[in-house]
Every structure is written in structure tokens, then in C-alpha cells.
Amino acid sequence: MRILIDTNVIIPLEDSTRILEDSLSKLARLASENGHQLLAHPSSYDDLARDPNTSRRSISLSRLRKYSTLQDPPKPSSTELSELGLLERDDNDRVDNEILYALYRDAANILVTEDRELHKKALHIGIADRVHYIQQATSFLEHLHARIGVVLPSIEEVPLHQIDLRSSFFDSLRSDYKGFDSWYQEKAREGRIAWVYRDSEGNPGAIAIFKEERDPIVTNDCRALPGKALKLCTFKVAEQVRGRKLGELLLKAAFRYATNNCIEHVYITMRPGKQDFLEDLCTDFGFTLLGEYKDDQVFVKEHPLQPPDATLPPLEYHRLFYPHIRSDRAVGKYVVPIRPEFHKVLFPDAQSQPSLFAPSSAGHAIKQAYLCHARISGIRPGDILLFYRSQDVQGITSIGVVESVHEYQNHDNILQLVSKRTVYSYDEIVTMAEKKTKVILFRLATHLQKVLPNRWLSSVVIHK
């Protein structure tokens, strides 16, 4: 974006003898960090050249030259000034009119000025929405580039420079990618960040290094992802911590980050034949092969802002477009009661007061299991589970999508079915299996921002 700045903004910005206002320093920083161009109008030189103080004039002009100048801006004719109703009584009016006319003719996107007369003129010719006071422009850029992070138990979001590159955790990446250390150091200097799981000794056990992009070209044949995209630049789970569902936890972070920041695609590159575990994981959660980039394969996860049309079976729809779900009348909805102690373990990231203790592996996962003795029949893959936290909250907190439903009265059958998902202990499963037990395998879709209380249930017709 091209931001035209008036002289009454440039001079305070460059005057080392004046204390810079917070909003003004933020404006310069936000523009620099996010690739926006601050431009001076050529007429600003005329404005400063009229300063009778020779020394001050020389200093001001030298500071103005630090900025790019708007090249060949359009100048209004006397007829155009008349048609716009802009008076030109002196040189001040001429400079103001030329700056404003450049904006009017779309030579820049917005103008930042503290000049009230310029704001009045902008209102008169219908472009007031594009003329900002410093605070307005700063607030606009802050909102435009706001980044909403992710908070999940067991992982932290940290800049790369806080992670010890000398750790043996990175050895396999060094062997697979020539120049990995140099790449990592370069990205650390750029301020790149990552989601990290640390082991009991504080060493990295899993990592996803990520960055936001816009309209990236991601394949050798120049295929692009329109809109905002999240690239998972490096994704690794150490062998010694596999089985703790950390891959799912990192994907959960990526999907939530994409949701929070209105990102429409998530993508990752992999070396063919060398990352089978990662490929299986990503494919299971809706990534599909788009093409090749250099020697790598590119897998893309669609993450549309709005739910796509429901043309796929409910479970497949959710797999491809997670966290979106089908909730039309063809999809069953079931309220599933869950006691607080199991809720805390199954959904540690849904707690308003996170536990001081590390969550179980099942709590990391997106794919989970629920066991009960409820006499519910007719549950099908793709149906919706509304988890009702009983006793203390007494409301619906979370939503899941059914993968499959089974019924056993043999604890070995139950154990082999839920071995990768369960939050229940062996003794609890043995006790439950004394009676016929329903086993519901499901995918966690989302946690509700606001709990749906008991009174909501009484207002809808729903299975229990």
C-alpha cells in the first residue's frame, strides 16, 4: 500500500530534538514491517522551501529526501479545481490542492496529515475516508496486520532465536536439507516464529516453523494459492516422543491459527519417500497433493473462510474442510454428557483455567474416543456430538464429528479399538466392559466460545 505523508507528519518523524508521539512511531514501524511505502509529494519540497529560517529549511529538506517521492503526480487544472470546488488563494492552497488531487486521482492509497483544512477539503470532494490523522492511520494498520496467536497446552509459540539450534533434535533435518543451519539462522534473524513442544529437560521434541504468505506460487508449474496462506516451513516430531499425538497437536495449532487470522490455505512441502509418517498424518486431515516444488511435493489443506456447499458426505466434508462441519437436517445431533474429570483430560485446551499438569496424549489429539453405556442408536459417521459438561458447568462446551460407532462387552476389544485415543485407564475400561459399552470414535471440531447452558437444550429438539 502506498501511503502519502504530509510535511506536518514528516518533520516530527525526522526531528531528533522532539519526543516522538507513540502513534507516529508506530505508524513508521508498522509501515516498515509490513511492506507499505511511505511517500512524499513533490509539492512538499515547495512547502518546506518557504520556511524563512535558512538553517531549519536546509535540515527539513534533507530529511524529506530520505523518503521516496511520488513520481509524476497528476496536477489539477484550473478547470478541475473549479469543478471540485477547491480554492487556490496562495501557495499553501496550491500545495494542499496538489497533494489532495494526487490522492483523488488514485496516485496513492491514503494520505496521512494533521492539517484540519486538508481534512475539510477531502470531505468536500468525497475522499474523506482515505485521509487519516496519524492516530487513525496507525489504528488502521494495527487492525490490518493484527495477528492472533494460538494458546494450547504443552506447546509454546516462540521466536527461532530462543531455540538452541545445536540440539540433536535438528540432526535429521541437517542430513535431509543441505544448508539447514544457514537457513535457520537467516530465518531467526528475520524474526520467524514456531510452535514448539519441549521435553522434560527443555529440549525441543516437536516443532512447526511457520509463516504467513499472500497469493504464493507454490509449484514448479507456477500454481498459486489465492488469498492468505499459512506455510508450515518445517514440521518435525522426534521419534522418542511419537505416540503422544504431538503431530495432531501441531496441526491443531496450525488450523486454529488459520481460523483466527482468516487464512484460506495451509500448505507444507515434503521429500518424496522420506516423510511417510508426516504424509499420512497430513492426508488424514485433508491435505492433498497439489504438485511439486523443486524436489519436494506440495500438500495443501483448503481452509475456506465460509463453509463450502454441503455436497460431500458429512465425515468426508469435515475431513477436507476441518474445522467446518455439516450441520444440516440430514446430519444427526447428539448431546453427550461428560464428567468434569474426563472433560479436563479429553479437552485440556477448552479450560478457562488451564491445568498446571501436562495433558495426556489423548488431550493433544484431534482424533479421540468416548465410551459410555447410553442407550443411543442410529449414530452414523458424520453425525455431530455436542459434549455436555455435567455437574459443575452444566452446559455444552465442545463439538465433535463421529467417525465410527462400536459396541462391545469385552475389554480387550475396546482396548485395541481405542489404544491410540483413550483418556480412560485400563481399570476403568475393564470396569466399563462389565456391561455392554458403546465406543464412539470422533474428531474434535471446535470448542465453543460461549457455553450453551441447560436452558438452551430445553429450547431445541435433540437426541440425548
DSSP, residue by residue, 365-401: -SEEEEEE--------TT-EEEEEETTTT-EEEEEEE
Burial degree of 116 (CB within 10 A; 0-12, 13-18, 19+): exposed
The CA–CA distances, whole Å, from 132 to 59, 274, 336 equal 26, 53, 52
Residue 342: per-residue pLDDT = 83
pLDDT of 282-323, one tens digit each?
Answer: 999 999 999 999 999 999 999 998 888 888 999 999 999 988
Nearest to 246 by CA among 365, 424, 418: 365
- Min mean pLDDT across 31-45, 194-208, 395-409 is at 31-45
**More confidently predicted of 309 and 382:** 382
Q: Which residues pair with 60 in a beta bridge?
A: none
SS3 at position 217: strand
Contact predicate 108/72, CB 8 Å: no
Per-residue pLDDT band for 399 (boundaries 50, 70, 90) equals: very high
Contact predicate 212/229, CB 8 Å: yes
Q: What is the mean pLDDT of residues 223-246?
A: 92
Looking at the domain assignment, is residue 173 inside a domain? Answer: yes
Name the residue type at position 14: E
Looking at the domain assignment, is residue 462 inside a domain? Answer: no
| Domain boundaries, position 69 | 2-144
Distance, in Å, from the CA atom of 353 to the CA atom of 111, rounded to the nearest integer, reads: 45
Residue with cell 491443531: 252
Tell me, yes or no, if the pTM score tops 0.95. Answer: no
Distance, in Å, from the CA atom of 205 to the CA atom of 196, rounded to the nearest integer, reads: 8
Please calculate the CA angle 437-339-396 and round it to the nearest 5 degrees.
Answer: 105
Residues 127 and 187 in one domain: no
Residues 35 and 107 in one domain: yes
Residues 351 and 214 in one domain: no
Looking at the domain assignment, is residue 8 inside a domain? Answer: yes
Contact predicate 234/207, CB 8 Å: yes
Residues 198 and 265 in one domain: yes
CATH of the domain at 192: 3.40.630.30
Strand pairing class (367-372; 296-302)? unpaired
What torsion, rounded to 10 degrees, do the Cα atoms 447, 452, 453, 457 define? Answer: -120
The mean pLDDT of the chain is 87
Per-residue pLDDT band for 21 (boundaries 50, 70, 90) equals: low
Q: What is the mean pLDDT of residues 99-109?
A: 94
- Min mean pLDDT across 40-49, 169-178, 340-349, 405-414 is at 40-49
**Residues with Cβ within 8 Å of residue 24, at least 6 apart in sequence:** 9, 12, 13, 134, 138
The upper half-sphere exposure of residue 131, i.e. CA atoms within 13 Å in the direction of its Cβ, equals 24
Number of residues that this document lists for the chain: 464
Residues 364 and 404 in one domain: yes
Looking at the domain assignment, is residue 319 inside a domain? Answer: no
Q: 244 phi and psi, to 5 degrees?
A: -95, 10
The total of structural domains in the chain comes to 3
Residue 433: per-residue pLDDT = 93
Residues 180 and 296 in one domain: yes
Domain boundary among 85, 116, 144: 144
Looking at the domain assignment, is residue 372 inside a domain? Answer: yes
**More confidently predicted of 60 and 200:** 200
Distance, in Å, from the CA atom of 27 to the CA atom of 113, rounded to the nearest integer, reads: 12
* Helix ranges (DSSP H) in 132-245: 134-144, 171-176, 180-189
Residues 260 and 296 in one domain: yes
Residues 55 and 174 in one domain: no
The neighbour count for residue 409, using CB atoms within 10 Å, is 12
Query: What would you measure as the largest C-alpha separation in the chain, in angstroms?
Result: 96
The neighbour count for residue 222, using CB atoms within 10 Å, is 8
CATH of the domain at 132: 3.40.50.1010
Domain boundary among 117, 144, 171: 144
Residues 347 and 250 in one domain: no
Looking at the domain assignment, is residue 167 inside a domain? Answer: yes
Looking at the domain assignment, is residue 320 inside a domain? Answer: no
Beta strands in 409-458 (DSSP E): 437-453
| DSSP structure class, residue 463 | B
Residues 347 and 247 in one domain: no
Per-residue pLDDT band for 360 (boundaries 50, 70, 90) equals: low
Name the residue type at position 277: F
Per-residue pLDDT band for 334 (boundaries 50, 70, 90) equals: very high
**Dihedral sign, CA of 424, 428, 433, 435?**
negative
SS3 at position 89: coil
CATH of the domain at 378: 2.30.130.30
Residues 84 and 162 in one domain: no
Residues 159 and 296 in one domain: yes
pLDDT of 188-224, one tens digit each?
Answer: 998 999 999 998 888 899 999 999 999 999 999 999 9
Q: 169 phi and psi, to 5 degrees?
A: -55, -30
Per-residue pLDDT band for 16 (boundaries 50, 70, 90) equals: very low
Residue 414 has pLDDT above 90, yes or no: yes
What per-residue string of b and e applies to 119-140 under the rule 16 or more CB within 10 Å gives b?
bebbeebebeeebbbbbebbeb
Residue with cell 462400536: 406
- Min mean pLDDT across 109-113, 181-185, 312-316, 357-361 is at 357-361
Residue 298: per-residue pLDDT = 97
Distance, in Å, from the CA atom of 142 to the CA atom of 242, rounded to the nearest integer, reads: 39
Distance, in Å, from the CA atom of 231 to the CA atom of 264, rounded to the nearest integer, reads: 11
Looking at the domain assignment, is residue 168 inside a domain? Answer: yes
Burial degree of 430 (CB within 10 A; 0-12, 13-18, 19+): middle
Per-residue pLDDT band for 361 (boundaries 50, 70, 90) equals: low
